[in-house]
Structure 1
Amino acid sequence: MFDIDKWQEIFATIKKNKMRTFLTGFSVAWGIFMLMILLGSGNGLSNGVSENFMRDAVNAMWLWSGRTSIPYQGLKEGRDIRFTNADYDVLKDLEGIEYTSGRYYIRENKFSYGNEYGEYTAITCHPDLQDVENIEIVDGRFINQVDINQTRKSVVLGKDIYDALFKDKNAIGEYVRVNNIPFKVVGICREGGGTRHRNAYIPVSTGQKVFNGSNRLHNFALTINATTLEESQAIEQRVRETMARKHRFDASDESAMGSYNKLEDVIQTMKIFQAIKIFIWIIGTGTLIAGVVGVSNIMLIVVKERTKEIGIRKAIGASPSSVIGLVLLESILITTVAGYIGLVMGTGLMELINLVVEKQYEVSAATNGGNGETIFRNPTVDLGVAMTATLLLVVAGTIAGYIPAKRAARIKPIEALRDE
């Protein structure tokens, strides 16, 4: 039950020892405050890096041809490996491959419309590239299979190209000239993997035909059906062995065919962040423990200072439970109030930092066509985690206060009255 006399006595004791109470509460508040800061910072860094990864498909893989560096089956090193459309047909039907797009490079791309012109990058591709690179369509559509089959002179312009050439005018259905060859604009897009949208996309079959590419492809962009590191490595090895057999080079020869498996980087990076989070929790927990030890030490001092008072209480009939309750309530009050202050200050500071980060992100996005640059995003702490940490701190503070309270309850009145 609520005993107003007991609470008045606790507040009187706290008021009498302001500096001691402040320092005790500060150690507790600082512990929970630092835990919130550490967790929020760790989350912010993890979220920022994760967002950068997500701009392209997480399970993306890129392949490119090169020159052999290892002799193979009587063939000397130094042979050029050349990908063709036949390789695309093999890869798109290979087990473990979801989306596939080939690319033929076109150099020195001059785009013009009316009196406007500029140098941009023309990427020849298959329709699946939209899924591999998370390309966002702003207006119109992306390259489709009909464009490929009929070798249409269709083009999807990056947002920066559209802004430079059309100046907010309608572009869909208009013709732009790529190296003096007219292409019909079928879409406007933003690229998922960057903040500059200076690429244009045309059907790979059209690029090969118009720009004398024959059936040549320079690289492939794929997504793989894998969720673990082992699965992704197995699919990568299957792809490498398939291409090695077809082009007769050693599968271990990375100079003959280069590859980049993004999922490997994502998984390894997330493991690093998991380790960082564990390290943060260890540091934060250590800080909290230091605060709890401080509460325990202060309660021991309180019991020592009030030994004679406790003896008098017991001599006039106070029960051991009332003595324990008095010390415990003081410990719980200090821990709860200080922990709450630390929680509010920590979460408040992280929300303020989040507000500043989001403002900077919006400015970056506004100046880069919709994609903001960041390695630090949403540095906040889950409310459930914050409340759980505070509750555990209160429980730990209660236990810390119980030890000296139990000791006080065992003091015999005659010994307490003799205490100097």
Structure 2
Amino acid sequence: MFDLDRWIEIFQTLSKNKLRTALSGFTIAFAILLFTLLFGVGNGLKHTFEKQFARDAINSVYIRSGKTTKPYKGLQSGRQIQFRNDDSKFMNDKFEDEIQFFSPNIQRFNVQAIYKGEQNRYTIRGVYPDYQPLESAVTQEGRFLTYLDIERRAKVIAIGRLVEEDLFGQLSALGKNITLDGISYKVIGVFNDPGGDNDERFIYAPFTTIQGIYKPNDEIDQFGLTFNQNLSVEKALAFSNLLTKMLKEKHNVDPRDQSAIRVFNYAERTKKTQAFMIALNIIILFIGIGTLVAGIIGISNIMVYIVKERTKELGIRKALGATPKSIIGMIMMESIFVTALAGYIGLLIGVFSLKALGKSLEGYGILNPSVETYVIIGATIVLIIAGTIAGYIPAKRAARIKPIVALNDE
């Protein structure tokens, strides 16, 4: 039950002992502040990695060609490996169960795009509709490419959000025609990409259209695919290793040649990043727990000192009829109040500090540093419990002292 007289007495005691109260509060507030900042920075690092993964599907594989560095089967080194349409059929036939989405890719860099008086240069990609989930692109207006566009070799394009802003300003690009290298294409869709600005400056066109214009000999620049999500990381890596081996055999490449055919499997990056994130979480948790333990020790030491300092006062209270229960209750209420108030202040300072430093920390690879509310509330509750225990133990000991002994304490 709320006892107004008790609370008035507590506030009077705290106001008469400002330094003692300030030291107690500072220890608690600093512990929560440091805890909040540490977890906020840790979450910022996790957000950075999550954004990097958002650039492409985490189960994606990209296959690129290069030049051979070793002679093989009578063929000299320095031979350029060229992918063609039959490589698409080869991979889909051999790995039908492992492949989820698949798209060949032709890229043209620095293509001049013109709409009325506006112009700029972008990268255009000739792809299949399956390429959209590989890039995690989200349609904002209109639609993405379809297989009917592929079949008809349609001169249609889906453009990134920033391409629309560059060429059309505040107007919608949907249904408008853009000239790319002198050829007119109709805009059928606008997309955004969680990968960021660079990924929103691409233009996608039907693969058959771009191949017919720029690669008349059925040439392909690279392939993108996603593997079946039911595959474990180990099986996904085994799949890409077998795929690499079979492509090397098909193109007469030495199995030890690492440059001629390069396969980038995101499963390997996922495996390394998951291990890093687990280690990062353990480190942050360890440091956070250490911070709380330091705060608990600080609270405990201060409470022992406070009770010791108030021995005479407690003796007078007992001489005037105060019961041990009332003395213990008073000290514990003081401890809980100071711990809760200081913890809340430390929490507010920590949260506002993270918001204020958010933009400046991005330059250090820490994106959107923040901390979940339940984590900080949990840490504050732990400190409140610690403060309660820290106040109870010395208070119980002090409540047992006889008034005459307490009054004679020096």
Fold conserved (TM > 0.5)?
yes
Tell me the equivalent position of 1:64.
64
Partner residue in 1 for 2:369: 379
The TM-score, its normalising length taken from structure 1, stands at 0.82
Residues 1:283 and 1:66: Cα distance change in structure 2 (over 3 Å)? same
SS across alignment from 2:396 = helix
Percent identity (aligned): 41
Which of 191, 214, 217 aligns to 1:214? It is: 217
CA gap of 1:86–1:29, structure 2 versus 1, over 3 A, is same
Alignment of 1:19-418 (within 5 A): 19-72=19-72, 77-93=77-93, 94=95, 95-106=97-108, 109-112=111-114, 118-159=120-161, 161=163, 176-190=178-192, 193-196=195-198, 197-226=200-229, 229-314=233-318, 318-351=322-355, 376-418=366-408
- Counterparts of 2:115 and 2:334, CA distance in 1: 78
CA deviations 1:104-133 (Å, max 9, x no partner) are 344674445667655433322112112211
Q: How far apart are the structure 2 equivalents of 1:57 and 1:250?
A: 30
Amino acid at match of 1:321: K
Moved more, 27-36 or 145-154: 145-154
User: In 2, Cα distance between the equivalents of 1:111 and 1:6?
Assistant: 77
| Rounded Cα–Cα distance in structure 2 between residues aligned with 1:198 and 1:39 | 34
After superposition, the Cα gap between the structure-2 partners of 1:252 and 1:147, relative to the gap in structure 1 and judged at 3 Å, is farther
Secondary structure, in 3 states, of the residue corresponding to 1:120? strand
State how far apart, in whole Å, the 2-side matches of 1:315 and 1:117 are.
91
When residues 138 and 326 of structure 1 are mapped into structure 2, their CA distance, relative to the original with a 3 A threshold, is closer
Asked if structure 2 preserves the Cα contact closer than 8 Å seen for 1:49 and 1:375, the reply is no
Contact kept? 1:35, 1:281, Cα under 8 Å: no
Q: CA deviation at 1:266?
A: 4.2
- C-alpha change, 1:179 and 1:323, in structure 2 (3 Å) is closer
**Shift of residue 316 of structure 1?**
6.2
Shift of 1:392: 0.6
- Which of residues 385, 399, 419 in structure 1 aligns to 2:409? 419
SS at match of 1:259: strand
- Answer whether contact 1:39 1:277 (CA < 8 A) is retained: no
Cα distance between partner residues in 2 of 1:108 and 1:190: 20
In structure 2, runs of 5+ residues without a counterpart are none
Partner Cα distance (2:177, 2:339) in 1: 71
SS of corresponding position for 2:80: coil
CA contact (8 A) 2:103 2:225 kept: yes
How far apart are 1:102 and its partner, in Å? 0.8
Counterparts of 1:115 and 1:7, CA distance in 2: 74
Matched to 1:398, the amino acid is: T
Q: CA deviation at 1:417?
A: 4.1
Please state whether the residue corresponding to 1:297 is helix, strand or coil.
Answer: helix
Q: What secondary structure is seen at the aligned counterpart in 1 of 2:68? A: coil
Which residue in the other structure is 2:18 paired with? 18
Question: How far is 1:149 from its partner?
Answer: 2.5
Is the CA contact 2:28–2:295 (under 8 Å) kept in the aligned structure 1? yes
1:183 and 1:47 map into 2 onto residues whose CA distance is 37
Does the 8 A contact of 1:296 with 1:404 survive in 2? Answer: no
Residue in 2 that maps onto 1:368: none
| Cα shift at 1:75 | 5.3
The verdict on how the C-alpha distance between 1:24 and 1:265 changes in structure 2, with shifts beyond 3 A counting, is same
Number of aligned residues: 406
Report the 3-state secondary structure (helix = DSSP H, G, I; strand = E; otherwise coil) of the residue aligned with 2:223.
strand
Per-residue deviation, 1:18 = 0.9
2:297 counterpart letter in structure 1: V
TM-score, structure 2 normalization: 0.83
- In structure 2, do the counterparts of structure 1 residues 10 and 160 end up closer, same or farther at CA, with 3 Å as the change threshold? closer
Give the distance between the partners of 2:288 and 2:340, measured in 1 at CA.
Answer: 18
Residue type of the partner of 2:236?
S
